[in-house]
A and B are shown apart, each in its own frame.
Chain A
Amino acid sequence: MKEDFRFGKRHGAFLFVMLMLAAIPFMGEPFYVRLASRILIYGLCALSLDLILGYGGMVSLGHAAFLGVGAYTTGILFHNGVQSAWIVWSAAVGISGAAALVIGAISLRTTGVYFIMITLAFAQMIFYFCASLEAYGGDDGMAMWSRNTFGGGLDLDSPVRLYYLILVALAVAFFLSRRLVDSRFGRVIRGIRENEGRMRSIGYPTFQYKLVLFVISGAAAGFAGVLLANLNGYISPALIHWTRSGEILVMVILGGMGTLIGPILGAACLLLAEEILSGFTQHWMIFLGPLLILVVLFGRGGLVGLATRGRYRG
């Protein structure tokens, strides 16, 4: 913590939201716990995308790839008898980070629309690679019938325990992201977003900065994949389908790009809308599509932008 830390309005709000979220399991509805778990996991994934998208200015249309790498690592290790969370989770985060390193090192040589397309191409490669893993279910994917354990009798088989773990993970990720974007590193990254050429001529190795951010983002998305595999107990290539990358992108924009709370709000909004509207009609996407177009055309800044009307920009 900084020396001049003061308990301000924003910390109060943060604490309040955390308490509300922590109270969800006390409603006694397993359905709500599961829904909230999914929202928080996608919130984490969208948050990781926003680091490169909102702060780094890199439009990736392949972020689901890292979600998939994390989930598949978890599933493959499970089917080979490795269930220890310590091993599985570090392996999954490590492998997602390594995948992001390779993909980023190649993709970041391009910019603009070419970057969008090359990230999409890499995600498709990983999609087809996972779909061709016949030993692990091929197109159908694989089941994971028990969750990872921490040893010493501490397992995640209770949905409530898993939910609290996800909540803590998201809170930690949020806190770390806050520190990251406020750090010197984060300011350099924002400088690169505004004008990369200028940053380079001041002497910053912009490529390396962007690559490091890309790896952090990929590793965090991989961790979201681990959590998702544990929650669903099921891993399939559908996780990596390009429309999933599109949905994660939608979450970030809907909530507010370039803010940390925005992506989480966006994930909550999209998944809740899906849950509520699909109760009325199975054709709820017919409303979502035009709504999204309106948000793109008129709602600059997403929900956060709407709520603050330009008073705050992270």
Chain B
Amino acid sequence: MNASLLIVQTLNGVQLGMMLFLMSAGLTLVFGIMNLINLAHGSLYMLGAYFAATFQKMTGSFLLGMAMALPAVVLVGILIEVAVLRRLYDHDHLDQVLATFAMILFFNELVSILWGPQAYFMALPEGLGGTVELLPGIRYPAYRMAIVAAGALVALGLWYFIMRTRVGMLIRAGAANREMVGALGVNIRLLFTLVFGLGAGLAGFAGMMAGPILSVEIGMGESILILTLVVIIIGGIGSVRGAFVAAILIGITDTVGRVMLPPALASMAIYILMAAVLFWRPQGLFPAAT
């Protein structure tokens, strides 16, 4: 085990962390504001990847494909919210788990009907196929570097949106105390549809970014969904800052653990971390509501 491998693995960890952050930012807000468990969040990730792959094939351009796929995912997200999730706010967590689990089954099957059961492969975007030399002797794939950069940009934009704009302030207030915000005359339903659309867009964006490095296939959303749930539990439900810290933490623990720990322990490491956090800090690292 040498230093350059450790650096590359840490970068891979940060890259995975960025993806996880894109996934968890929306989910943690949905969770925090409406107290809704949405297991179907992974389906939006999957749809994002499929849409991007299809539009890329049609247009021949990665960026153009992405620009078309993003509104499509947001639209699907809003449709889901209006058609099903809206009815689930008053139900308990068990019902929410079941209904959104059923949505996973539905979307997996829908994708298999529309796109067929075989995996898709997305081409790398133009000009990002090579590697970059970060330090003398350490080369890193340019596309993965681009993911880190895009993730950081989105995180910054999200931070500005949530901490510095009026709508962001309402979202934060909603995550801390939904009833009070509603009582102050804010249309909490509209706010939530907006948050859900935003979360869907971020999840779809993560799926699009993941497309070229993973294969686009049915069930791709489920493995990342579980990691996302781990992130938002560790970070504290409803806290975007907590989601960011936990996402990077989980990303690095997972990838660095794979080279430093024995295989059996490495794949269990993040779940052990989560159980430990829940044991000592049941509300997560950065609880949103006090």
B278 at the interface (CB under 8 A from A): yes
Q: Separation in Å of the B246 CB from the closest CB of chain A?
A: 13
| Cβ contact within 8 Å between B101 and A132 | no
| Cβ contact within 8 Å between A286 and B97 | no
Question: CB-CB contacts of B90-124 with A at 8 A, as 1s and 0s?
Answer: 01011101110111111111101100000000000
Question: CB-CB contacts of A120-156 with B at 8 A, as 1s and 0s?
Answer: 1110110011011100000000000000000000000
A272 at the interface (CB under 8 A from B): no
A117 at the interface (CB under 8 A from B): yes
Specify which chain B residues have a CB less than 8 angstroms from the CB of A109 in the assembled complex.
279, 282
Residues 244-259 (chain A) with a chain B CB within 8 angstroms: 246, 249-250, 253
Q: How far is the CA of A110 from the CA of B275 in the complex (A)?
A: 11
Identify the interface centre among A129, A249, A288, A296: most chain B CB within 10 Å of its CB. Answer: A296
| Cβ contact within 8 Å between A124 and B37 | no
Q: Separation in Å of the B236 CB from the closest CB of chain A?
A: 11
Specify which chain B residues have a CB less than 8 angstroms from the CB of A296 in the assembled complex.
88, 91, 95, 98-99, 102
B1 at the interface (CB under 8 A from A): no
Identify the interface centre among B88, B98, B105, B268: most chain A CB within 10 Å of its CB. Answer: B105
**Chain B interface, >50% SS class:** helix
| Cβ contact within 8 Å between B37 and A289 | no
| Cβ contact within 8 Å between B112 and A283 | yes
Question: CB-CB contacts of B261-280 with A at 8 A, as 1s and 0s?
Answer: 00110011001101100110
Specify which chain B residues have a CB less than 8 angstroms from the CB of A30 in the assembled complex.
none
| Cβ contact within 8 Å between B99 and A293 | yes
A: interface residue count bin: 35 or more
Q: Separation in Å of the B99 CB from the closest CB of chain A?
A: 4
B167 at the interface (CB under 8 A from A): no
| Cβ contact within 8 Å between B105 and A289 | yes
Specify which chain B residues have a CB less than 8 angstroms from the CB of A112 in the assembled complex.
93
Specify which chain A residues have a CB less than 8 angstroms from the CB of B99 in the assembled complex.
292-293, 296-297
From B91, B94, B113, give the contact of A59 (CB < 8 A): B94
**Chain A interface, >50% SS class:** helix
Q: Separation in Å of the A247 CB from the closest CB of chain B?
A: 9
Specify which chain A residues have a CB less than 8 angstroms from the CB of B95 in the assembled complex.
296-297
From A133, A243, A249, A286, give the contact of B98 (CB < 8 A): A249
| Cβ contact within 8 Å between A110 and B93 | no
A67 at the interface (CB under 8 A from B): no
Identify the interface centre among B101, B103, B108: most chain A CB within 10 Å of its CB. Answer: B101
Q: How far is the CA of A45 from the CA of B101 in the complex (A)?
A: 19
Residue of B nearest to A285 (CB): B109
Specify which chain A residues have a CB less than 8 angstroms from the CB of B263 in the assembled complex.
132
B230 at the interface (CB under 8 A from A): yes
From A121, A242, A284, A297, give the contact of B275 (CB < 8 A): A121
Specify which chain B residues have a CB less than 8 angstroms from the CB of A120 in the assembled complex.
226, 229
B84 at the interface (CB under 8 A from A): yes
A290 at the interface (CB under 8 A from B): yes
| Cβ contact within 8 Å between A289 and B274 | no
Q: How far is the CA of A291 from the CA of B105 in the complex (A)?
A: 11
| Cβ contact within 8 Å between A125 and B268 | yes
A113 at the interface (CB under 8 A from B): yes
Q: Separation in Å of the A111 CB from the closest CB of chain B?
A: 9
Q: How far is the CA of A129 from the CA of B106 in the complex (A)?
A: 29
B233 at the interface (CB under 8 A from A): yes
Question: CB-CB contacts of A264-296 with B at 8 A, as 1s and 0s?
Answer: 000000000000000000011110111111001
Specify which chain A residues have a CB less than 8 angstroms from the CB of B94 in the assembled complex.
53, 59, 249, 253
Specify which chain A residues have a CB less than 8 angstroms from the CB of B237 in the assembled complex.
113
Specify which chain B residues have a CB less than 8 angstroms from the CB of A250 in the assembled complex.
98, 101-102
B81 at the interface (CB under 8 A from A): no
Q: Which 8 A-B pairs rank lowest in CB-CB distance, beginning with the nearest? A: A289-B106, A292-B102, A128-B267, A132-B264, A285-B109, A286-B109, A289-B105, A121-B271
12 contacts between A and B (CB under 8 A): A53-B94, A114-B282, A120-B229, A242-B222, A243-B222, A246-B97, A246-B101, A250-B101, A289-B103, A289-B104, A292-B99, A297-B91
Q: Which residues of B contact A (CB under 8 A)?
A: 31, 37, 84, 87-88, 91, 93-95, 97-99, 101-110, 112-113, 222, 226, 229-230, 233, 237, 263-264, 267-268, 271-272, 274-275, 278-279, 282
Q: Which residues of A contact B (CB under 8 A)?
A: 53, 59, 61, 106, 109-110, 112-114, 116-118, 120-122, 124-125, 128-129, 131-133, 242-243, 246, 249-250, 253, 283-286, 288-293, 296-297
Q: A112-B93, A291-B102 are in contact. List 14 more A-B contacts (CB 8 A).
A: A53-B94, A59-B93, A116-B37, A121-B230, A121-B271, A121-B274, A125-B268, A128-B267, A131-B267, A285-B105, A288-B106, A290-B106, A293-B84, A296-B98
